[in-house]
Amino acid sequence: MTNFTLKNSALHAENVALSQIAAEFNTPCYVYSKAALTQAFTSFKAGLVGTNHLVCFAVKANPNIAILNVFAKLGAGFDIVSGGELARVLAAGGDPKKIVFSGVGKNAEEMRAALSAGIFCFNVESASELARLNNVAGEMGKIAPVSLRVNPNVDAKTHPYISTGLKNNKFGVAFEEAIAVYEAAAAMPNIAVHGVDCHIGSQITELAPFIEALDLILGLVDKLETKGIPISHIDVGGGIGITYSDEAPPAFTTYAKAILDKINKRNVKLLFEPGRALVGNAGVLLTKVEYLKPSAKNSDAKNFAIVDAAMNDLMRPALYDAFHNIVAVKPRVGAAETYEIVGPVCESGDFLGHDRNLNLAEGDLLAIMSAGAYGMSMASNYNTRGRAAEIMVDGDKCHVIRQREKIADLFALETCLK
């Protein structure tokens, strides 16, 4: 996370001290670095120079319109999974002709919105969805461009909740059924077959599962061609992992080269759907220590540091037992203690980190690192907590890209019986 560094013994985002952000905007808040977002996108593209490709940021990783706008200006496309995400991309200035629409449960209204916008492709996940899309497009007098999301039954070797390419996952069309569903698609009047798509999971740190899946996909593309169903693009999905602690995912250029070597001058456009890899290390969650609760003397109980961020702000530790590095914004000299870093929510699962060695005092600021992906996007109002503010730093400037939610807003849509 090279845009979050210690300067004069204080943690900064680019040129702005995180303590200054806390003083100005309060905590908890998410802080993103525009330079880190830009660098992630440009380095993802670096291995693809001179090839026919489109990098579609997976919006669900972080849907703030300011972040989408940064990527849109860099020429990104977008991978969406709902009508809500479609609206966000359009509001952020994204190009509808660079949108792919994934997801197992697209409803008719979402299909209509995407057809009206003129998106690049629907990633269709079942035969039933295909039939519905054909009907909806027919009613509108349109032709829907599609890929089938094929499930290659490949083990991505990641957490079970974020593994999507095994045959017992809900995602995609089973590999064995793909040819039959493609033949059905090719015969539908309001469907145009354009591509093949697969996405096998998230936080993948090895190349092998990507290559194994791509080999199967290329075999399928060849078979489809012999059946008179030409494929003009291959969407290899997202899923490339990041470093949270000591993971060593392949460099983007290594990943790109491995894929391009397999594609080997085939005349297809390549699509990528990275989410986490573009935003994960471009953001931190800034929080304040409210209370220290030392263990009872001579007991083996834990020391707790109760901070003002909680599982409703960053769900990954509670949901996946995920690790985030937690660092002091102004590290103190002197002996550290081992702390459970926990939030105020009434759940024992409300922790942000276990067994962290820190020298803390009440009122200290902590940065929960690598929180740019699936942080704010999974935040909730559990315990009637307003969601955190989001700040984007650009050099020495701070921009509020989402205001802190106000308490009155949290029940503004609710009504008592008369």
Ligand X SMILES: *Cc1c(COP(=O)(O)O)cnc(C)c1O
Residue nearest to ligand X as judged by C-beta position: 275
Tell me if 61 contacts ligand X by CB under 6 A.
yes
Residues 89-108: x where in contact with ligand X by CB under 6 A, - otherwise, as a string: -------------x------
Between 129 and 273, name the residue whose CB sits nearer to ligand X.
273
Tell me if 273 contacts ligand X by CB under 6 A.
yes
Spatial distance between the Cα atoms of 313 and 351, rounded to a whole number of angstroms:
11
Tell me if 371 contacts ligand X by CB under 6 A.
no
C-alpha separations of 182 from 7, 150, 253 in Å: 57, 10, 32
Buried b (16+ CB within 10 A) or exposed e, 327-356: bbbeeeeeeeeebbbbbbbeeeebbbbeeb
The residue ranges of DSSP E strands in 185-315, in sequence order, are: 191-197, 233-235, 269-272, 283-293, 303-307
* Distance in Å, CB of 149 to ligand X, minimum: 7
**Residue 306 is which amino acid?**
I
Tell me if 129 contacts ligand X by CB under 6 A.
no
Tell me if 277 contacts ligand X by CB under 6 A.
yes
In contact, 306 and 290? CB cutoff 8 Å: yes
The piece of 53-61, 205-213, 357-365, 406-414 that touches ligand X (CB under 6 A) is 53-61
The residue ranges of DSSP E strands in 317-396, in sequence order, are: 326-328, 337-342, 351-358, 365-368, 389-394
Tell me if 387 contacts ligand X by CB under 6 A.
no
Tell me if 391 contacts ligand X by CB under 6 A.
no
56 is catalytic: no
Could you give the dihedral angle defined by the CA atoms of residues 197, 250, 369 and 85, in that order, rounded to the nearest 10 degrees? -10
* Distance in Å, CB of 14 to ligand X, minimum: 24
The piece of 63-71, 179-187, 210-218, 231-239 that touches ligand X (CB under 6 A) is 231-239
In contact, 60 and 52? CB cutoff 8 Å: no
Spatial distance between the Cα atoms of 401 and 62, rounded to a whole number of angstroms:
12
Tell me if 237 contacts ligand X by CB under 6 A.
yes
Helix axis angle, 83-91 to 108-117, nearest 10°: 30
* Distance in Å, CB of 277 to ligand X, minimum: 6
Between 199 and 233, name the residue whose CB sits nearer to ligand X.
199
In contact, 391 and 24? CB cutoff 8 Å: no
The piece of 173-181, 273-281, 289-297, 402-410 that touches ligand X (CB under 6 A) is 273-281
Q: Which of 28, 66, 72, 79 binds ligand X (CB under 6 A)?
A: 79
Phi, psi of 287, rounded to the nearest 5 degrees: -140, 160
Catalytic residue among 29, 56, 121, 346: 346
Residues 202-221: x where in contact with ligand X by CB under 6 A, - otherwise, as a string: x-------------------
* Distance in Å, CB of 255 to ligand X, minimum: 11
Tell me if 276 contacts ligand X by CB under 6 A.
yes
> Among all residues, which ones are annotated catalytic?
346
Which residues of the chain form contacts with ligand X (CB under 6 A)? 58, 60-61, 79, 102, 199, 202, 237-239, 273-277
